[in-house]
Amino acid sequence: MDVQAPGVPRLPPRFLVKIVLGLRRALLWLANALVPPQLPLFELATGVSKTQMLSTAARLRIADLLAAGPLDAAALAAHTRRDPDAVQRMMRALANVGVFTVRKDGRFANNRMSAALRSGRVGTFRDFADYFGSASNVGAWADFDRTLQSGKNAFERVHGMSVWDWFDRHPEERTVFAAAMGSMTTLDAPGVARAYPFGEVSRLCDVAGSRGALLAEVLAQHPHLRGVLFDNAGVIAGAHEVLSARDVADRVELSSGSFFERVPEGCDAYLLKNILHDWDDSRSVTILQNCRRAMRPGHRLLVVELLVERDDPNGIGPLSDVQMMMVCNEGRERSRADFARLFRSAGFELRRVVPTATLMSIVEGVAT
């Protein structure tokens, strides 16, 4: 049965994805090898300007404004109430790095990259770009060296509270972050739902499942399944819309609370996607122990994460890893061996790693 959400791109087989990513790496290496190293270093050193321009263009919905056709900087400036010369220079610089194009008549238009910033599209990158350039995230990154000295996350040091408490006090940022996660998860979800034998599960709890993008996809693909969606109350409040859009709301129980206190009981599988990478080992073990307390022996734990081996610099894992180090609670991306160790400390045995069609893997544990 083909129930994949409309608009979610079909992914090629995993081996092809690996070949394409390897080819891209080789071409990027070649592009840098052709020029003096100062050029790629200049492009890297000016990363902060790209973060800010991309984020601001996303926040100002420039890609949406260009959806009806090309516009010049004066028109974009009028729509966004910004300075025309500054808008022209930002758009030219973004076109320089491949986002938007400049036509011969000087007007700006969307291209393949900028179209991915358009609102309302499955997998839109708009919210992620918006979030990444937010003052709270960028402010934390400005304090990088002190994290290098201490190993402690910068967000709490700079802002005086954890990123999660920050979201509680800044609901507009939480909404952008949840939308960014939801968008990325919507792209990963079909691969996860297809890769794992969910036919062997009857009731699935998505622990800290945000607004339910992954649970909705898994339930849509597996009609026998019922689900429990668990997250902070403020996040759960936005879940009904996501679940209804996939027509699974009547099979999902909503539950709010903190996974440091409890996790809902009564499910035979517990899913945690992109959760443990937010936390250091000790707090990850506490989360897993709370899951274990809700489970019976033989029940399954499904941890969906990027697997990152210690000496492998490839893929998006190493960059995601430093983001977790800076902003989350001494979080990190982990290897298979790291998960095996965490699982053992919390009463699980790592049974296998199930690859998916995307970069995410499903690390399966069994309650012992």
Ligand X SMILES: C[S@@+](CC[C@H](N)C(=O)[O-])C[C@H]1O[C@@H](n2cnc3c(N)ncnc32)[C@H](O)[C@@H]1O
| 101: β partners | 109
CB of 329 to ligand X, least distance (A): 9
List, edge to edge, every strand of the sheet that includes 348-355. Answer: 252-256, 226-231, 203-207, 269-273, 300-305, 361-367, 348-355
Cα(79)–Cα(81) distance, integer angstroms:
6
CA distances in angstroms from 208 to 7, 171, 175, 194, 270, listed in the order given: 25, 17, 15, 21, 10
Q: Is 235 in the site for ligand X (CB under 6 A)?
A: yes
If one counts every other C-beta atom within 10 angstroms of the C-beta of residue 337, the result is 12
Annotated catalytic residue within 159, 222, 277, 299: 277
CB of 336 to ligand X, least distance (A): 19
**Among 131, 132, 164, 270, interactor with ligand X by CB under 6 A:** 164
**Among 53, 62, 181, 360, interactor with ligand X by CB under 6 A:** 181
Q: Is 183 in the site for ligand X (CB under 6 A)?
A: no
Q: Would you say 72 or 330 has its CB closer to ligand X?
A: 330
CB of 273 to ligand X, least distance (A): 4
Q: Is 185 in the site for ligand X (CB under 6 A)?
A: yes
**Among 208, 216, 295, 357, interactor with ligand X by CB under 6 A:** 208
Say if residue 218 is exposed, middle or buried (CB neighbours under 10 Å; 0-12, 13-18, 19+).
buried
Q: Is 274 in the site for ligand X (CB under 6 A)?
A: yes
In the range 301-340, which residues lie near ligand X by CB under 6 A?
A: none
Cα torsion 261, 219, 198, 178: sign: negative
Q: Is 361 in the site for ligand X (CB under 6 A)?
A: no
DSSP-derived pairing of the beta strands 300-305 and 269-273: parallel
Rounded to 5 degrees, φ, ψ at 288 are -65, -35
What track of x and - describes contact with ligand X for positions 211 through 230 (by CB under 6 A)? --x-----------------
**Among 100, 259, 339, 343, interactor with ligand X by CB under 6 A:** 259
Q: Would you say 42 or 260 has its CB closer to ligand X?
A: 260
**Among 56, 210, 290, 361, interactor with ligand X by CB under 6 A:** 210
Q: Which residue has the tokens 């959806």?
A: 67
CA 242 distance to own-chain centroid: 16
**Among 130, 217, 278, 333, interactor with ligand X by CB under 6 A:** 278
CA atoms within 13 A on the CB side of 132: 22
CB 91, CB 76: distance < 8 Å: yes
CB under 8 Å to 287, separation ≥6 — which residues?
207, 259, 260, 263, 272, 275, 276, 279
Q: Number of residues in contact with ligand X, rule: CB under 6 A?
A: 17
Q: Is 236 in the site for ligand X (CB under 6 A)?
A: no
Cα(279)–Cα(178) distance, integer angstroms:
18
Q: Which residue has the tokens 């095996």?
A: 340
Q: Is 127 in the site for ligand X (CB under 6 A)?
A: no
Cα(294)–Cα(258) distance, integer angstroms:
14
299 is catalytic: no
Task: Single out the segment in contact with ligand X by CB under 6 A; choices: 12-20, 24-32, 36-44, 270-278.
Answer: 270-278
**Among 258, 286, 323, 335, interactor with ligand X by CB under 6 A:** 258
CB of 33 to ligand X, least distance (A): 36
Q: Is 275 in the site for ligand X (CB under 6 A)?
A: yes
Cα(87)–Cα(102) distance, integer angstroms:
13
Task: Single out the segment in contact with ligand X by CB under 6 A; choices: 18-26, 40-48, 110-118, 203-211.
Answer: 203-211
Give contact residues for ligand X (rule: CB under 6 A). Answer: 164, 181, 185, 208-210, 213, 231-232, 235, 258-260, 273-275, 278
Which are the catalytic amino acids?
Answer: 277
